[in-house]
Amino acid sequence: MDEKQELLSLLSTDAREDVDDIARQLGTDAETVVSLLDELESDGTVRGYQAVIDWDNTDSQHVAAFVELNVELDRETGYKEIADRIARFPAVESLRLVSGDYDFAIEVTGDSMQDVSQFISEQIAPIPEITQTVTHFIMETYKEAGIDFGDRDDDDRLSVSP
């Protein structure tokens, strides 16, 4: 693995490490890490750094839904044009073109189920190219971004062993 790949692999495990600790783990110096990060950010490889939050552990209202979208393309409108229009809504957390029974898979968040339903029916469904929406409210999250929410990491090893 080259240094860039190693840095990406480390960031995908824990993006909150400070630059000095990253440098120590990669066996390089802090300046190198800073310039690699600059490069990865400016060429659009690293798009952001976010926490993985288990919203069920907070007091805040947080409702999310996966929505399947079917679309009809015409001569002037391709997937890209439709995607651009959907992506602009802040409530759309993710947007992907997928293979299979439907075209786009999007994730929408809001403060309540009503909030989310209203957004789909008033903002998404009326887009002329969209022919069908199927909304799946998320009832429970067990794992996200590679992190198992059920795994509380209890270390039951002997504290000292040969």
Q: Whole-number minimum distance, CB 160 to other proteins, in Å?
A: 4
* Closer Cβ to other proteins, 18 or 144, answer by number: 18
**Binding of other proteins by 162 (CB under 8 A):** yes
Part in contact with other proteins (CB under 8 A); list of ranges 25-33, 77-85, 106-114, 126-134: 25-33
Helix (H, G, I), strand (E, B) or coil at 33: helix
* Closer Cβ to other proteins, 5 or 57, answer by number: 5
Judged by CB under 8 A, which of 8, 11, 15, 17 binds other proteins?
A: 17
**Binding of other proteins by 161 (CB under 8 A):** yes
CB 82 within 8 A of CB 97: no
Q: What does the alpha-carbon distance between residue 32 and residue 17 come to, in Å, rounded to a whole number? A: 15
- The token pair that represents 131 in the structure block: 């022919």
* Diameter of the chain measured on Cα atoms: 70
**Binding of other proteins by 160 (CB under 8 A):** yes
Q: What does the alpha-carbon distance between residue 62 and residue 149 come to, in Å, rounded to a whole number? A: 17
Residues 138-157 within binding reach of other proteins (CB under 8 A): 153, 155, 157
CA-atom Rg of the chain in angstroms: 21
Part in contact with other proteins (CB under 8 A); list of ranges 13-21, 34-42, 55-63, 90-98: 13-21
Q: What does the alpha-carbon distance between residue 35 and residue 105 come to, in Å, rounded to a whole number? A: 35
**Binding of other proteins by 121 (CB under 8 A):** no
CB 82 within 8 A of CB 76: no
List of residues contacting other proteins (CB under 8 A): 1, 9-10, 13-14, 17, 21, 24-27, 153, 155, 157-162
